């Protein structure tokens, strides 16, 4: 199953809400994983009233010492409807460090090769952000939202490179 990265290139057009809705509505898989991988910090734990847990920080720490297919699931909470959520720390500095550690540990590639669909809420992409520095094939499929910007091709290798890898906006 794919790793689907959802992100925005401008402002806050509801990427987190869309990722949560997609994970909740995805019914053709026994398990679905939503990873809150926003380097600006996470919102879902607070939104959903979940008690604090290690989530993404615990996953990043554990992934540095080796990992198996079950590792992300051990750091996730099951939500109503069957989706599982790995929450990000609320602080941007800690969340960005977790996203970087997971990329270094090559966990996204393993999630992309796994049997369950994984959705990654990557938040807003901006120059220098971890997702913008890790273009496909790190992600199997990407969807970005928001109005395009003239600066997009100057700080990412260009939307054309992403679209050749199966990524882009819904209109691409």
Domains annotated on the chain, with CATH:
3-168 (3.40.50.300)
Residues found in the chain: 172
pLDDT at 117 over 80: yes
- Of the chain, the percentage scoring pLDDT greater than 70 comes to 71
How many angstroms from the chain centroid is the CA of residue 164? 20
Cβ-contact 122, 37 below 8 angstroms:
yes
Residue 147 has pLDDT above 80, yes or no: no
Of 9, 34, 21, the residue nearest 162 (C-alpha): 9
In angstroms, the CA 163 to CA 80 distance is: 34
Report the pLDDT averaged over residues 53-73: 90
Q: What is the 3-state secondary structure (H, E, C) of the chain?
A: CCEEEEEECCCCCCHHHHHHHHHHHCCCCCCEEEEECCCCCCCHHHHCCCCCCCHHHHHHHHHCCCCCCCHHHHCCEECCCCEEEECCCCCHHHHHHHHHHHHHCCHHHHHHHCCCCEEEEEEECCCCCHHHHCCCCCCCEEEEECCCCCCHHHHCCCHHHHHHCCEECCCC
What local confidence, expressed as pLDDT, does residue 34 receive?
95
* Residue range 42-62: mean pLDDT, rounded: 90
Give the pLDDT mean for 120-146: 57
Confidence class of residue 145 from pLDDT cuts 50, 70 and 90?
very low
Query: What's the pLDDT at 167?
Result: 40
Mean local confidence (pLDDT), 12-32: 86
Position 112 pLDDT exceeds 70:
yes
B/e letters for 12-32, b = 16+ CB within 10 Å, e = fewer, are: eeebbebbbebbbebeeeebb
pTM equals 0.76
Is the pLDDT assigned to residue 13 strictly greater than 50?
Answer: yes
Query: Between the CA of residue 147 and those of 28, 77, 143, 151, 169, what are the distances in Å?
Result: 31, 33, 13, 12, 9
């Amino acid at each position: 199953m794919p790793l689907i990265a959802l992100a925005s290139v401008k402002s806050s057009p509801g990427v987190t809400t869309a990722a949560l809705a997609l994970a909740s509505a995805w019914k053709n898989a026994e398990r679905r994983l939503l990873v809150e991988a926003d380097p600006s910090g996470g919102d879902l734990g607070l939104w959903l009233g979940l008690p604090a847990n290690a989530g993404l920080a615990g996953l990043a720490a554990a992934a540095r010492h080796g990992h198996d297919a079950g590792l992300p699931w051990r750091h996730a909470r099951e939500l109503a409807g069957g989706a599982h959520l790995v929450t990000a720390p609320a602080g941007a500095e800690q969340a960005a460090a977790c996203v970087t550690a997971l990329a270094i540990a090559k966990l996204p590639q393993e999630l992309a090769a796994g049997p369950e669909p994984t959705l990654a809420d990557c938040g807003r992409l901006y120059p220098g952000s971890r997702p913008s520095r890790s273009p496909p094939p790190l992600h199997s499929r990407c969807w970005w939202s928001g109005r395009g910007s003239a600066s997009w091709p100057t700080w990412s290798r260009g939307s054309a490179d992403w679209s050749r890898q199966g990524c882009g906006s819904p209109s691409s």
